[in-house]
Structure 1
Amino acid sequence: MGKKGVLLVNLGTPDSPEVSDVRRYLDEFLMDERVIDINAFNRTLLVKGIIVPFRSPKTSKLYKEIWDENGSPLLYYSKIQAALVQEQLGPDYHVELAMRYQSPSIETALANMKAGLVESIQVIPLFPQYASASTGSVIQKVMEIIGKWQTIPPISFVNSFHDNEVMIDTFADNARKFQPETYDQILFSFHGLPERQLKKCDHSGNHCLKTENCCAALTDVNKFCYSAQCHDTARLIAERLNIPEDRYSVCFQSRLGKEPWVQPYTTDTLKALAARGKKRLLVFCPAFVADCLETLYEVTVEYGEEFKALGGEEVQLVPSLNDSPKWISGLVKMVTDQHSSVYTSPDI
């Protein structure tokens, strides 16, 4: 029997923090039709004519703030995760790491699996909550590549793991080191999306953003909604830490452009909390399984400075899952559970 293939896919990172590499990364990322979901002509004008030329130098400076001797933190921790998963799964598995944008590419990873004669491929996009712009984009890209193969092996995808118990436990463990009960408020800050992308995921056509709290509880109607899954992740982590509802807030960061994105925005939440006299905030970013620009700079530096300017005293980031042994065991279990349910003979 051949090996079982496992493809772990994260978002991506520039090859270096230099402007040219950042420009190349942003161009590939933002030209994705699922990321900026407007017609191709307008997307090209917007991305290549406005966003990339103006944002690349600014974003380059931000990447230089978090780049260290190990390079990009996102790529560094992703490589460790893949290596440790391979180690624990053993020789019956072939584990590859890929980035949706830039290196290592999905094309290269799948080619390596093909050359390794894997008997099946399991794809795990490393995004806990499903979004068309992240998980959906990975699935589409993989299917486009493998769809051109003459022989297509059995293939499966992990759609989301927003309620994965090991992930929840690991974030809770990371937070306990900071004594959450000593903070004035707990923030769960997730990566933002345009509201139009949420509406597109509402297959009923009559639920999304129709009421103020449409994402507060996960139901059959909104089970694929990114925002609803984010709220569910926050609720589960809060419950694990015995944090009451009035002591935590769910918000969304990284807004791009002027049109409405998922709300409340993290910046607005900071202003509201400062106005209420809150001084110390503990912040989770459970949309990421590895620390990156959005956690290490946007939260720690930008929001930290913003909150202090508003009269606050401290914004403390809860580290992401990174190389936590517990999280690695959770990834391994995700692989073996799905392989057993998808590929095991019913007679066993």
Structure 2
Amino acid sequence: MGKKGVLLVNLGTPDSPEVGDVKRYLDQFLMDERVIDINAFSRTMLVKGVIVPFRSPKTAKLYKEIWDENGSPLLYYSKIQTAMVQEQLGPDYHVELAMRYQNPSIPAALAKMKAGLVESIQVIPMFPQYASASTGSVIQLVMELVSKWQTIPPVSFVNSFHDNPGMIATFADNARKYQPETYDQILFSFHGLPERQLIKCDHSQSHCLKSADCCQTLTDVNKFCYSAQCHDTAKLIAAELQIPSAQYSVCFQSRLGKDPWVQPYTSDVLKQLAAAGKKRLLVFCPAFVADCLETLYEVTVEYGEEFRKLGGEEVQLVSSLNDNPQWISALVKMIKDNQGA
């Protein structure tokens, strides 16, 4: 029998922090029709004419701040995760890593699986909460590529794992070393999305953003809603750590452009907490399974500086899942459970 293929896919990273590589990364990323979901002509004019030329030099400087002897932290930890998963699964599995944008690419990873004569392919987009712009984009590209093969093996996908017990436990354990009970407030800061993308994912067209608390509880209507899944992840981690609801806040970072994004924005929450006299914040970023630009720079540096200017004292980031053995075991269990192994 052939090996069972497992494709782990994260978002992506430039090949280097140099401006040219950052331009190529941003161009591929932002030209994705699911990321900037407007008509093709407007997207091309906006991305190639405005965002990439002006944003690339600034973004390159930020990447240089987090680049170290291991290169990109996201790629570094993703490679380690892949190797650890392969080791735990053993020789009956063929595990490959890919990035949705740039390298290692999804086409290259699938080609390796095809050459390895895998008997099936399980695709795990490494985004705990489902979003069309992340998980949906990975699934679409894989289906487009594999659909062109003459012989198509069984292909399956993990849609989301926002409530995975092992993932929740790992985030909680990572936080315990900081003694969460000693902080004034706990923040769960997730990557943001335009509100229009949430509305598009509401198949009922009768629930999304129709009330202020539409995302607070996960139901059959909003079970694929990114924001609702984020709130559920936060609720589960808080429960694991016995954090009362009044002691934590859910917010969304990385807003781009002037259109309304999922709220509340992290910056606004920082202002509110500082005004309320909060001094020390502990921050989770449970939309990421590996530390990256959004955690290591945006939260630790930018939000840290912003909060101190507002009168706060400390913004402490809880490490992502990275190479934590507990997370790897949870990922392996997820793979086996989804394949009925």
TM-score surpassing 0.5?
Answer: yes
Match of 2:170 in 1: 170
Partner of 1:243: 243
The answer on 1:27 being equivalent to 2:34 is no
Q: Distance in 2 between matches of 1:55 and 1:239?
A: 39
Instruction: Give the partner amino acid of 1:266.
Output: T
For 1:330 and 1:75, locate their aligned partners in 2 and report how far apart those are by CA, in whole Å. Answer: 20
CA drift at 1:265: 0.1
* Residue type of the alignment partner of 1:115: A
Tell me what 2:215 maps to: 215
Give, in angstroms, the shift of residue 110 of structure 1: 0.2
- C-alpha distance in 2 between matches for 1:87 and 1:206: 46
Aligned to 1:300: 300
* Equivalent residue, structure 2, for 1:128: 128
SS in 1 for 2:123: strand
Cα separation, 2, equivalents of 1:98 and 1:4: 17
Structure 1: how far apart are the matches of 2:245 and 2:25?
39
Q: How does 1:1-348 map to 2 (within 5 A)?
A: 1-340=1-340
Per-residue CA distance 1:140-166 (angstroms, 9 max, x = gap):
000010010000000100000000000
CA–CA separation in structure 1 for the residues paired with 2:200 and 2:223? 13
SS class of match (1:321): coil
What residue identity is the alignment partner of 2:322? Answer: N
TM superposition shift of 1:291: 0.1
Quote the Cα distance in structure 2 between the aligned partners of 1:151 and 1:35: 30
1-structure distance, mates of 2:144, 2:308: 47
Measure, in 2, the Cα distance between the counterparts of 1:329 and 1:159.
19
- TM-score (ref. length: structure 1): 0.98
CA distance in 2 between counterparts of 1:266 and 1:285 reads 11
Q: Distance in 2 between the 1:171 and 1:329 partners?
A: 14
Q: Percentage identity across aligned positions?
A: 84
Tell me how far 1:249 sits from its aligned partner: 0.1
> Displacement of 1:331 after TM fit?
0.7
2:10 alignment partner, SS class = strand
1-side partners of 2:214 and 2:117: how far apart? 46
Q: Deviations over 1:14-69 (max 9, x none)?
A: 00000000000000000000000000000000000000000000000000000000
Mapped partners of 1:48, 1:239: distance in 2:
45
- Name the Cα RMSD after superposition: 0.4
1:133 is paired with a residue of what secondary structure? helix
TM-score by length of 2: 1.00
Give distance in 1, aligned partners of 2:205 and 2:105: 36
2:7 is paired with a residue whose SS is: strand
Report the alpha carbon displacement of residue 229 of structure 1 after superposing the two structures with TM: 0.1
Distance (whole Å) between structure 2 residues aligned to residue 177 and residue 20 of structure 1: 40
Q: What CA deviation, in whole Å up to 9, does each residue of 1:184-241 have, x standing for no partner? A: 0000000000000000011110100000010000000000000000000000000000
Measure, in 2, the Cα distance between the counterparts of 1:220 and 1:120.
Answer: 30
CA distance in 2, matches of 1:177, 1:235: 20
Aligned partner of residue 152 in structure 2, secondary structure: coil
Give CA deviations for 1:239-291 in whole Å, capped at 9, x if unaligned: 00000000000000000000100000000000000000000000000000000
> For residues 86-138 of structure 1, what are the alpha-carbon distances to aligned partners after superposition, in whole Å with 9 as ceiling and x for unaligned?
00000000000000000000000000000000000000000000000000000
CA distance in 2, matches of 1:271, 1:193: 21
Distance in structure 1 (CA, Å) of the matches to 2:331 and 2:221:
28
Deviation at 1:10, TM superposition (A): 0.1
1:325 maps to amino acid: P
Where 1:303 maps in the other structure, the secondary structure is: helix
2:203 partner amino acid: H
For structure 2, the residue ranges without an aligned partner over 5 or more in a row are none
Q: Distance in 1 between matches of 2:266 and 2:253?
A: 5
Unpaired segments ≥5 residues, structure 1: none
